[in-house]
Structure 1
Amino acid sequence: MKRFLRHSVAIVLGLGVMSAAHAAGKLNVLCSADLEWCQLMKARFEKESGIQVSMIRKSAGESFAQIQAQAKNPQVDVWWAGSGDAHLQAAFENLTQSYQSPLQSQLQPWARVFATVAQNRSVGIYQGVLGIGYNENELKQRNLPAPKCWKDLLNPAYKGEIQIANPNSSGTSYVALATLVQLFGEDKAFAYMRSLNANISQYTDTGVAPGEAASRGESTVAIEFMHDLIKQKVAGFPIAVVPACEGTGYEIGGMSIVAGAKNLDEAKRFYDFALRADTQTAAVDAKAYQIPSNAQATVPPQAPNVASIKLVNYDFAKYGSPQTRKHLLQRWTSEIYSHGN
């Protein structure tokens, strides 16, 4: 009898362990922020929730392409971070599903408006401003003027000195493309980019690569989000960061639950976790200097001062639509990229 009881207790304990493991669950996340911030989010969420997170870092364009390709058999539950235009296209194509977090009322107006445009298939988690960065040492050695405006980058003296990402793979660069179109009009924007093409040394795959190259002295000028450039500056590299004088665009970093997510309860827990003020405040620990969407979160002191920057009235509904994105990317590929530099 005692042996039977001991055996029964062992079975119960075993089932209890299995039940606890099942309750903890698992979660598959695509992360389109810097790797360091991705790792911080994974570690904090796993420690707090006990949920096992499988996280892969990809740029916004690459993440969208993966979710689109896996639409019939989703392998991802949550897509966290990355420029909102790509998140909106996923929303408009019904690749993501609606979820309204109880924390949504704590968010900045721009984050709530973004969620409304996405029909709650995505939500804003941070704001990032597009800028120009340059290596001050390299600029002096080459006796080049410091760029302050978009038009300055057309100076023939910058031939082979500028890097920007490919907008087909990079959300950062798509924001730059959409920004120029909104500033100058489509035809004039493409005329500008054709002229700029002569000064581009490389169209990189990721949005952060141009700033990293400029920091190492492999190039001189980078077109990139200011928070990524500021990260290089804080790390001790001789990077100066300016918003373009004519005006500049901005991103709203998105977060979306993938339609057909296999771990939906865990996905919602992560969603709520990512919108919390304390979670967003902790981003600075990963040297992330974006402006948080939760109004109660602490804005990093290094973050761009949006009040002093001339911003375009960025039309997220238009430039996040599949039709507009497809049109602009196809035109950029045929008129700019295919002609080399």
Structure 2
Amino acid sequence: MRFGNTFTSVLSTTLLVCSAIGTAHAGQITVYSALESDEIATYIAAAKKALPDLQVNVLRLSTGDLAARMIAEASAPHADAVWGEALTNLLDPRIADQLAPVQGGNISGLPKQFKDPGGKWFAATGYMAALCVNTDALAAKKLPMPTSWEDLAKPVYKGNVVMPDPASSGTGYLQIAAILQGAGEDQGWKILKGLGANVAQFTSSGSQPCKLARTGEYAVGASFAFVAMQSIKAGFPVKMVIPSKYVGYELEGSGMLKTSKNQADTKRFLEWVASPEAAKVYQQYKEIVTTPGVKPTQEQIAEGLPVDVSKVLYPMDFTASAKMHDAVLRRFKTEVMH
């Protein structure tokens, strides 16, 4: 998902041991996921309670590695499903063409903007851009509180900002894609060049900028909301700032591979992924949960998450994000990261 292109971990049969003794139905599926390892462990434990007769073997990869693996395996896929991959990657035709339509009550109940009209993918969760501002470091350096991407492009912040490299981080890419789509080509690149001039370090992961800012190494980390809320909860002197406009976000898409030999069980699992029961578990980790009726907790609101997240998100065109991806990264590397 969002933390760069480094292989992280393999979570296999140890995550969910099938308790199929005495059950009439027992199955096993293989799932590729870009969700974080701790998330997967929590979700799979909950899935086990709902689907005690199903063994789910999960291979966890970062967003970039997962996409590359699916493309490399296109002629002979090894997985039954993909779970929680960046939608921008799922929309790559080389991956989208591998997916089969899946219908079900829970999936059908998701709002239309969070599922493919043809049923090839749906997104139960997502994440949004946020700034982690270390209030102590800001005061010590006598810097103003930033409220927008334009603010961070001002010379006063030179050397005090850290952000993810969009080539390795899904969080980094959603940030720049929203700026380019929202501000337009000319103004967008102007903002990005000003921002790049102030960045002291480009990190390989989307969480690292916040972690560097919360310790005071830098004043501002361009990251995502959940890690900002984690930092606040942990007692760091961090204020989460949602940019006043061009708030990028990414959806975490799931779907079934058309080559799956375990389609009935795969559909059962994906229906659980889209279920209200799963949504309650997602709130332990996610700022965006797409199940109707799910709202931020009071604790999340106190930490700075908007009461209605949908009102602050820029209406991302994910198809456009996918199409412009490679060209944007090339230009960003030569004109912003130089």
TM range (shorter): 0.7 to 0.9
Q: Which amino acid aligns with 1:99?
A: V
What is the deviation of 1:307? 5.9
Give the alignment's Cα RMSD to 1 decimal: 2.8
* TM-score, normalised by the number of residues in structure 1: 0.81
Q: Indicate conservation of the 8 Å contact 2:132/2:222, yes or no.
A: yes
Does residue 1:334 correspond to 2:334, yes or no?
Answer: yes
Does residue 1:306 correspond to 2:314, yes or no?
Answer: no
Q: Aligned partners of 1:205 and 1:29: how far apart in 2?
A: 25
Q: Which amino acid aligns with 2:315?
A: N
Q: Aligned partners of 1:213 and 1:21: how far apart in 2?
A: 49
Give ranges in structure 2 of 5+ residues lacking alignment: 1-18
Deviates more, 1:273-282 or 1:207-216: 207-216
Does residue 1:141 correspond to 2:140, yes or no?
Answer: yes
Equivalent in the alignment of 2:263: 264
CA displacement, residues 157-186 of structure 1 (integer Å, 9 cap, x when unaligned): 322322222222322222112101112212
What is the deviation of 1:296? 4.4
Q: Aligned partners of 2:45 and 2:262: how far apart in 1?
A: 18
Provide closer, same or farther for how the CA distance between residues 137 and 29 of structure 1 changes in structure 2, counting only shifts above 3 A: farther
Equivalent in the alignment of 1:231: 230
CA displacement, residues 118-174 of structure 1 (integer Å, 9 cap, x when unaligned): x32211212433222211122222222211111111233322322222222322222
Match of 1:68 among 66, 71, 77: 71
Equivalent in the alignment of 1:45: 47
Identity %: 25
Equivalent in the alignment of 1:7: none
Provide closer, same or farther for how the CA distance between residues 289 and 19 of structure 1 changes in structure 2, counting only shifts above 3 A: closer
Q: Which amino acid aligns with 1:312?
A: Y
Q: Which amino acid aligns with 1:163?
A: V
**If you compute each CA radius of gyration, which structure gives the higher value, 1 or 2?**
1
Task: Report the number of matched residues.
Answer: 314
Q: Indicate conservation of the 8 Å contact 1:134/1:239, yes or no.
A: yes
Provide closer, same or farther for how the CA distance between residues 32 and 232 of structure 1 changes in structure 2, counting only shifts above 3 A: farther
Equivalent in the alignment of 1:182: 181
Provide closer, same or farther for how the CA distance between residues 107 and 37 of structure 1 changes in structure 2, counting only shifts above 3 A: same
What is the deviation of 1:81? 1.9
Give ranges in structure 1 of 5+ residues lacking alignment: 1-16
Match of 1:81 among 76, 79, 84: 84
Could you say which structure has the higher helix fraction?
1
Q: Which amino acid aligns with 1:52?
A: Q
What is the deviation of 1:60? 2.2
Q: Indicate conservation of the 8 Å contact 1:243/1:309, yes or no.
A: no
Q: Which amino acid aligns with 1:125?
A: A
What is the deviation of 1:31? 2.6
3-state SS, counterpart of residue 27 of structure 1: strand
CA displacement, residues 71-119 of structure 1 (integer Å, 9 cap, x when unaligned): 12223332222432222225764132221232123213432xx422xx3
What is the deviation of 1:28? 2.4
What is the deviation of 1:232? 2.1
Equivalent in the alignment of 1:204: 203
Provide closer, same or farther for how the CA distance between residues 295 and 83 of structure 1 changes in structure 2, counting only shifts above 3 A: same
Equivalent in the alignment of 2:9: none
Match of 2:292 among 290, 295, 300: 295
3-state SS, counterpart of residue 105 of structure 2: coil
Provide closer, same or farther for how the CA distance between residues 232 and 293 of structure 1 changes in structure 2, counting only shifts above 3 A: same
Q: Indicate conservation of the 8 Å contact 2:179/2:246, yes or no.
A: no
Q: Which amino acid aligns with 1:289?
A: K
* TM-score, normalised by the number of residues in structure 2: 0.82
3-state SS, counterpart of residue 103 of structure 1: helix
CA displacement, residues 215-243 of structure 1 (integer Å, 9 cap, x when unaligned): 23333212222233222222322221122
Q: Indicate conservation of the 8 Å contact 1:134/1:220, yes or no.
A: yes
3-state SS, counterpart of residue 115 of structure 1: coil
Q: Indicate conservation of the 8 Å contact 1:86/1:171, yes or no.
A: no
Q: Aligned partners of 1:178 and 1:135: how far apart in 2?
A: 25
Q: Indicate conservation of the 8 Å contact 2:124/2:291, yes or no.
A: yes
